[in-house]
């Protein structure tokens, strides 16, 4: 599914999707309509989401796939990610677990005391159940998503995380 979306993003001009001849932005919007309702789009459109991953191609793909869903900040550098958090109101932070300078959990541990409000989501290609459960119990992370994941799965997780974020901000 992700490959199909990425192929659609790579073609400029017009393309046919479900028998309709659509321009790139119309095609992307039409694809998402099946995954998330208009009211849900409105709820998450204003979110600021930071995605940290050591693979720039993955970040580019993610940004392309979700650019109509919410505001996206991306970086391959954990220290730049910390700067982005310090200079922007970030509601959701997503990071890959395996990175060269520090793991995703180490990054979350580094920022969680100074920036406790953003909801933190960990992406993993492998699952160490005990480590993940410990991180959730200690509130280092809100959730974990296994790779590969679908755009729909990511949007739903972010929508749920946004609900938690805004509930926490209201004191509920």
How far lies 30's CA from each of 23, 36, 70, 96, in Å? 10, 11, 16, 29
Q: Is 44 exposed, middle or buried (0-12, 13-18, 19+ CB in 10 A)?
A: buried
Claim to verify: residue 88 and residue 146 sit in the same structural domain: yes
Q: Give me the domain span that covers residue 69.
A: 46-169
Domain-embedded: residue 39: no
Split at pLDDT 50, 70, 90, the class of 46 is confident
Indicate the pTM of the whole model: 0.74
The CATH number assigned to the domain holding 137 equals 3.40.50.2300
Split at pLDDT 50, 70, 90, the class of 40 is low
Strands 119-124 and 92-96: parallel
CB atoms within 10 A of CB 144: 21
Split at pLDDT 50, 70, 90, the class of 27 is very low
When divided into structural domains, the chain yields a total of 2
Claim to verify: residue 25 and residue 66 sit in the same structural domain: no
Claim to verify: residue 139 and residue 107 sit in the same structural domain: yes
Claim to verify: residue 67 and residue 137 sit in the same structural domain: yes
Average pLDDT, rounded, for the chain? 78
Claim to verify: residue 120 and residue 56 sit in the same structural domain: yes
């Amino acid at each position: 599914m992700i490959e199909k979306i990425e192929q659609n993003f790579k073609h400029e001009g017009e393309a046919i999707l479900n028998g309709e001849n659509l321009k790139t932005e119309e095609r992307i919007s039409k694809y998402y309509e099946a995954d998330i309702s208009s009211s849900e789009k409105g709820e998450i459109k204003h979110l600021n989401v930071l995605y940290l991953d050591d693979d720039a191609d993955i970040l580019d793909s993610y940004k392309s796939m979700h650019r109509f869903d919410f505001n996206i900040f991306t970086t391959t550098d954990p220290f730049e990610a910390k700067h982005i958090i310090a200079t922007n109101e970030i509601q959701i932070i997503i990071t890959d677990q395996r990175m060269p300078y520090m793991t995703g959990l180490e990054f979350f541990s580094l920022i969680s005391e100074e920036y406790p409000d953003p909801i933190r989501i960990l992406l993993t290609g492998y699952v160490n159940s005990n480590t993940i459960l410990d991180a959730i119990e200690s509130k280092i992370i809100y959730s974990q998503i296994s790779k590969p994941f679908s755009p729909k799965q990511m949007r739903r997780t972010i929508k749920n995380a946004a609900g938690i974020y805004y509930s926490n901000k209201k004191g509920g």
